[in-house]
Amino acid sequence: MSINEEARWLNAEESETWLSVWSMMVWLPVRLDAQLREDAGLSHPEYHALSQISMAPERTIRLSELAAASNMTLSHLSRVITRLEKAGWVQRAPDPVDGRYTLGILTDAGWEKIRSAAPGHVEAVRRYVFDALTEDQRRALGDAAARIVEVLDPPGFVRA
Amino acid sequence: MSINEEARWLNAEESETWLSVWSMMVWLPVRLDAQLREDAGLSHPEYHALSQISMAPERTIRLSELAAASNMTLSHLSRVITRLEKAGWVQRAPDPVDGRYTLGILTDAGWEKIRSAAPGHVEAVRRYVFDALTEDQRRALGDAAARIVEVLDPPGFVRA
DNA sequence: GAGGCTAACTTGACGCGTCAAGTGATGGGG
DNA sequence: CCCCATCACTTGACGCGTCAAGTTAGCCTC
């Protein structure tokens, strides 16, 4: 990220690669978030939570499972769900099986919300990522990213 | 990001690529931030600000220039500088040339701070990114990221 | 040279994301 | 059968990052 470092540690080609990768990591989420925000009035975590619940059986999921599936802390998820609840898209209910769990239940309004928001979001991913690349580039990007993720070793990551 | 989308819009290979890219974008910043936080007690923006000031003439820079060079809003930078000031690494002073500008001036303590923090950070970038890739992969990643950034069209981006 | 425009900066409020501390429900051991 | 450990969740506080609104300094025009 700095000339200081680059001069000491990264050669010119590495620096250029790093600048591109860094810029992508900064701006891709910004653009995707902006699309969701403008077209659906949702933040990405809100979208993701609605999407995940919509795919669960009975459109119902335990918050702790949702957090794990979303790479989100329970802490953060709790606040997201609170907003979704205020908007009328999700309801909370204690799990009748084990009262310690809280269920997130998608309302009909929530179902409509995610149904209407999804196409635009996928279209944005396609526009910003896949339309920009050739098939060879797409594969190379996937391979390099997969390799880096392997080294990063995120919790819960399952190797293909 | 969701099966819902994938089934409708992305084929299996695209989904896999997207998952890898997304995971990389989520976890690479987390790991780099953690390294800085643990080894130097700095957030990434704090590190970046110190780094940029250290490279400026007289180790002094106008806050608005620093913000532009850092892809950061003045708003956010202002708070970052406030923390760096409290830590004794940076001082604020009005620009004698034009009193509307505020200068950020690196203190000796700030200079020592960034000097000691830089090697570890570069090492982390090398470990997580470049050590994981072959030269071909590095080039392919750089090309794909550059292409995507071109489409994202971030403000102030200069094409090579 | 006084009034008002503009540019630089700060501050408030909000969402993302974290950790730490607190609350409530459950289940297991004495 | 009761107490306490544990688990799920919530809340507070903090930093990242945003936009909007307010403040101050400089400049430009009349």
pLDDT digits (tens, 9 = 90+) for A108-125: 999 999 999 999 999 999
Please report the pLDDT score of residue B154 as a whole number.
Answer: 85
Cβ neighbours of A51 in B, within 8 Å: 1-2, 4-5
Tens of pLDDT, residue by residue over A19-76, are 999 999 999 999 999 999 999 999 999 999 999 999 999 999 999 999 999 999 999 9
Give the closest of A25, A29, A129 to B28, CB-based.
A25
Closest to A110 (Cα-Cα) out of A47, A158, A67 = A47
How far B99 CA lies from chain A's nearest CA (Å)? 29
Nucleotides on chain C within 7 angstroms of protein Cβ:
7-13, 15-21, 24-27
The nucleotide minimizing the C1' distance to residue A62's CA is D8
Collapsed DSSP state (helix, strand, coil) of residue A99? coil
Strand order through the sheet with B90-94: B60-62, B102-106, B90-94
Residue B18: both structure tokens together: 């997207």
CB atoms B4 and A118 under 8 Å: yes
pLDDT at A49: 97
The segment with the largest mean pLDDT, out of A3-7, A88-92, B94-98, is A88-92
Residue B85: pLDDT over 90: yes
Q: If you average pLDDT over residues B74-89, what whole number do you get? A: 96
- A141 pLDDT exceeds 50? yes
CB contact under 8 A, B126 and A48: no
Closest CA to B145 of B128, B157, B156: B157
- Tell me: pLDDT of B157 over 70: no
Q: How many contacts, defined by CB atoms under 8 Å, are there between A and B? A: 206
Task: Please provide the size of chain B in residues.
Answer: 160
What is the mean pLDDT of the segment spanning A7-15? 81
Q: Which of B47, B131, B141 sits opposite A141 (nearest CB)?
A: B141
Tokens of A154: 């995120």
Q: What is the spatial distance between Cα B5 and Cα A152, in angstroms, rounded to a whole number?
A: 26
Closest-approach nucleotide to residue B79, Cα vs C1': C10
Domains of chain B: 40-152 (1.10.10.10)
**The predicted structure's pLDDT at residue A6:** 47
Closest protein CA to C1' of nucleotide C6, residue = B100
Q: What percent of chain B has pLDDT over 90?
A: 88
Q: In this predicted model, what pLDDT tens digit does every residue of B120-151 receive, in sequence order?
A: 999 999 999 999 999 999 999 999 999 999 99
Q: Given a cut of 50, is residue B7 above it in pLDDT?
A: no
Question: Residue A29, CB half-sphere, CA atoms under 13 Å: how many?
Answer: 15
| Partners of residue A128 in chain B, C-beta under 8 Å | 148, 151-152
Q: Is residue B8's pLDDT more than 70?
A: no
